[in-house]
Amino acid sequence: MLIGFNYTLGSTYPFVRQMAQDGEIDYCELLIDNFLQVPPAELAAAFPCPLGLHIMFSRFLENDQAALEALAQRLRDYIAVLRPLYVSDHVATFTHQGRHLYHLAEVDYRAGYAALRARVQWWQQQLGVRLHLENYPSLLPGGHDAPDCFTRLMDDTGCGLLFDLSNAVCAQRNCGLALDAWLPVAARASHFHVAGYGESMLAPKLALDTHDADLADDTMAWLRALRPLIDAPGHTLTYERDAAIDAAAVRAEVRRLRALFAADPAPADPDRDPDRDLDADLDADLDAD
């Protein structure tokens, strides 16, 4: 398994490159939308490590076909030169009735499945690689349909899941989607995200995927529970931090992840149900809040 860090902001380049040179991270995930002005060869030379490509603003579920074809042509050039570990995108919408949203919106996994499947299949073909789609930090009850939808998408289109563990924790807090509901589809994933989350300003509080904080205790518990799924050859785990970035804090979080996966696993207890124990721990944590 490889542990990496996301690179989204030009100002963080010196310490991100240094982490790669020092072997603190094994790869770097580029928010590729921010770097399409940089020639692919120059971007490849800028990092002494493998790269992953994370697409944020394709809006492939709602953008017009001509714009997406032009974007895909540019992205294929980067894919050919950078030979990324993976290419990923988001299952979310950016607009409603022509108006741009302040916060990305979750799709209707049931009623919109046919259109979603067709668009995923088309966009993946345009990129020319297997596309790994990230799960959403659900806010509303419709999020309960997400695990089944991603399972169907993987079966129907051959796409992969970029499983964001902290997004699953946010969904559990917000709409009660049990973490173990993700286990069957998460077991099929090979690329993972983890990040800190925050809370909305007004009550009832919502857990928001803010990428601006250290990893929460419930996220770390979820990581420990999923360790057997994540820690495998060819798998990646990206620590994301896009705001409140401090080099020392990022390094400390990466070291914490390495320590978690380097530690000897706890001996198996035949009487222990790890899913039940994990849910009980998270319920107790939520009650404490």
pLDDT tens digits, one per residue of 131-173: 999 999 978 889 999 999 999 999 999 999 999 999 999 999 9
Looking at the DSSP assignment, which residues form a beta bridge with residue 198? 208
Half-sphere exposure in the Cβ direction for 23 (13 Å, CA): 0
Residue appearing with tokens 């785990």 = 237
Reported pTM: 0.89
pLDDT at site 267: 54
Report which of 18, 74, 24, 86 is spatially closest to residue 46, judged by C-alpha positions.
18
**E strands present in 110-233:** 131-134, 160-164, 191-195, 198-199, 207-208
> Does 268 score more than 70 pLDDT?
no
Q: In terms of DSSP bridges, do strands 93-96 and 99-105 run parallel, antiparallel, or are they unpaired?
A: antiparallel
Alpha-carbon span 284 to 202, nearest angstrom: 22
- Do 236 and 190 contact (CB within 8 A), yes or no? yes
Report which of 134, 44, 49 is spatially closest to residue 87, judged by C-alpha positions.
134
pLDDT at site 286: 40
Alpha-carbon span 181 to 285, nearest angstrom: 19
Amino acid at 68: L
SS3 state of residue 183 = helix
For 163, the token pair is 């499983």
pLDDT-derived band at 272, boundaries 50, 70, 90: very low
- Do 142 and 114 contact (CB within 8 A), yes or no? no
pLDDT at site 265: 67
Least confident of 204-213, 232-241, 245-254: 204-213
pLDDT at site 103: 61
Least confident of 3-17, 220-234, 237-251, 258-272: 258-272
> Does 197 score more than 90 pLDDT?
no
* pLDDT (tens digit per residue) in 103-133: 677 899 999 999 999 999 999 999 999 999 9
Average of per-residue pLDDT values in the chain: 89
CATH fold of the domain at 2-288: TIM Barrel (3.20.20)
**E strands present in the chain:** 2-7, 27-31, 51-54, 87-90, 93-96, 99-105, 131-134, 160-164, 191-195, 198-199, 207-208, 236-240
